[in-house]
Structure 1
């Protein structure tokens, strides 16, 4: 299969999850792809990532499922605990990727990035690191691009996969920006305590949420959500102390986890954001994917899944034949309602916690949303 006549050369701006996935799929279909990533190290960093079944379905499509399965930690249940660690309920998770894939795989984020990088390299895409787009000029036939290294290029399509604070989104005049929801998140990767084999969540205690996810046979990704603070007022040298202090209010596996949080450089503090571009996700022949178009708090662990689904749907449409304008309109039509449901549900779950709503239908909202996600995007 080859690209449609109107889209045979594509520039992907950003080598994160969405950009890498799209590059792999387009190259497989014979489309010429250049990928530029502003970070010289290709952003091989981070703590942990939770991948639900619908994310795993796309990773299987990319041909990397075997590596993901080998390096990650799969499980099918979710535990709810009291702050002291008492297990209140264990529920079977919905396999949103189908019966042949686990409900969830936890991974170390750098491992997933390296797997995708290897697949991009193997695809034959032209990759430039430490480089990004400086300016764009469009006409009916395509997009002229000037890069930060002084070079130029012309493409049938430019894909903005450059993240939540996308500079490409701003270049094409889309004004939407992420907005904080009011929560802040502490997270760290630590050794996995023996017997920790699924995600457990505690609601209440010193934080809104205390949770962890096994990310390999030897590691776990731990996180604590609290009211957001002024990030400039927190000395990064105290990050480990702050996270340990918050973790003191939790039992179960938490004392062992907290004892391993010693290096402030291995602790990340960030805010929860809501982001959804209203209206079209493209301007001419420049289109947004992943966090550049939408992002949600991790209360449903669907951020990476939504980005991967974007890449899958856009690649399918671009390589199925049709005019570029029609394809980009169809991409938005297919993705926007599903993404909005996930963003709104993720924000609502956090809002209920911040407002202290005790009778909220949390299981119902999660169940309805995850059931919807079992349908292919």
Structure 2
């Protein structure tokens, strides 16, 4: 058995923090470096579907943020005027005492994950990244951007879609690609009817409403944005209203309340998938660094969380580090590839306005797959 007793995690987002927590619970020493000096989070909220709820319970953090989140059971699919098309029941994969799904603000989730990692003894340094590293048979020697150094049994690159570690491992082989779409998000006071994830879809547009707490929800919409334009912030409220002009029902009522451009979160969709083992020697990629995808199936962060749990399990197992990382890849590659490819497919069919595409069927297929053990 090869003991992995000290790990460097590069990136303090959801995947990196979950990896730090999982490894500390195994007794592994963890250093975590995050490029941002101000450890803020981007975006408004996040959907944690049944498989993610299961893994967060296993990670031992779910109980710490359920009180700040919104628990719900079902997904509702509606046409653009708010008429119901389907209701997809959730599964309580974490056990009967936990909900099937959870909506939570990214800030609330970050506060729980970061505080938990630090309480468990992860050594966190902000405003720092990796300048270079050199591997040998027994470890990785790392030089940081402040000229400090460290030696580790494993380096985990959890540094996102623009991963510096991915570039160090693979050069320019894998570069983020703009899909042609962007996502728009805006917070509202929660309407009492939004006690589930509500998705509105049709050939003329799409939107969704996600409960985040008893008094908060967010509205999202995806749009075709050819050539990846850059917009002035002052334009964003007008543009978001325009993008959901064909959506009625509650979304239509809310549309005219989108007035503050500073509160619109606009993000072009960029994807990358490392189509070979995500490690070389003692350096491994997880999360968006290895498989960034679109939000169409709501599983991007979920796959990063699963990566973190599986990595900690395999590192605690028998055999050489090479064998452990190969087992990690066997458990993660096809699952993440399915989510990546099908999420992009859903976006492509939206842009093509393909009325024959079975989005509901794909959602059910995804839920069946992700319910399977990791």
- Tell me the C-alpha RMSD between the 2 structures: 1.9
Q: Does 1:298 align with 2:283?
A: no
Alpha-carbon distance in structure 2 between the residues aligned to 1:374 and 1:194: 29
Q: Distance in 2 between matches of 1:359 and 1:229?
A: 23
Equivalent position of 2:266 in the other structure: 269
- Which shows bigger deviation, 130-139 or 97-106? 97-106
The residue number in structure 1 matching 2:162 is: 165
* Aligned equivalent of 1:351: 348
| Equivalent residue, structure 2, for 1:192 | 190
1:119-168 superposed Cα distances (whole Å, 9 cap, x missing partner): 01111111101111111111112111111112111111100000111011
Partner residue in 2 for 1:137: 134
Tell me, in whole angstroms, the C-alpha distance in 2 between the residues paired with 1:158 and 1:292: 13
Where does residue 35 of structure 1 map in the other structure?
32
Relative to 1, partners in 2 of residues 1:232 and 1:183: Cα closer, same or farther, differing over 3 Å? closer
- How many Å separate the matches in 2 of 1:98 and 1:34? 32
Match of 2:199 among 196, 201, 205: 201
Q: Which runs of 5+ in 1 are unaligned?
A: none
Give yes or no for the alignment of 1:67 onto 2:69: no
Q: Show CA shifts across 1:5-55 (max 9, x none).
A: 441110000011111011111111111110001111223342111111111
- Please tell me whether the aligned partners of residues 193 and 257 of structure 1 are also in contact (alpha carbons under 8 angstroms): no
Offset at residue 294 of structure 1 (A): 0.4
Aligned residues: 373
The TM-score, its normalising length taken from structure 1, stands at: 0.93
Q: Taking structure 1 as reference, are residues 63 and 217 closer, same or farther at Cα in structure 2, changes over 3 Å only?
A: same
Structure 1 residue 95: Cα displacement: 4.4
Q: Greater CA deviation, 284-293 or 247-256?
A: 247-256
Give distance in 1, aligned partners of 2:233 and 2:302: 30
Q: Whole-Å Cα distance in 1 between the matches of residues 19 and 316 of structure 2?
A: 12
Rounded Cα–Cα distance in structure 1 between residues aligned with 2:348 and 2:272: 15
Q: Which of 175-184 and 49-58 deviates more?
A: 175-184
Instruction: Name which of 283, 287, 297 aligns with 2:284.
Output: 287
Q: CA deviation at 1:86?
A: 2.6
Deviations 1:80-110 (A, max 9, x none): 2222223333332344555553232111111
Retained in 1: the 8 A contact 2:184–2:265? yes
- C-alpha contact 2:203 2:350 (8 A) present in aligned 1: no
Q: Supply the distance in 1 between the matched residues of 2:79 and 2:40 (Cα, whole angstroms).
A: 36
Give runs of aligned pairs for residues 97-136 of structure 1, distance below 5 A: 97=94, 99-136=96-133
Q: If the length of structure 2 is used for normalisation, what is the TM-score?
A: 0.94
Q: Does 1:93 align with 2:102?
A: no
Distance across 2 between alignment mates of 1:343 and 1:167: 21
Contact 1:44 1:114 in 2 (8 A): no
Per the TM alignment, residue 341 of structure 1 is displaced from its structure 2 partner at its CA by 1.4
| Distance verdict in 2 for CA 1:46–1:149, change over 3 Å | same
Tell me which of 173, 176, 191 is aligned to 2:174.
176
**Does 2:317 match 1:325?**
no
Distance 1:291 1:281 in 2: 11
Per-residue CA distance 1:215-263 (angstroms, 9 max, x = gap): 1111112111110245554111211221123334322222443344232
- Once the two structures are TM-superposed, the CA of residue 193 in structure 1 deviates from its matched residue by 2.2
- Matching of residue 24 in structure 1 with residue 21 in structure 2: yes
Secondary structure, in 3 states, of the residue corresponding to 1:253?
helix
- 1:98, 1:374 within 8 Å by CA — same for their partners in 2? no
Q: Report SS of the residue matched to 2:249.
A: coil
Shift of 1:204: 2.7
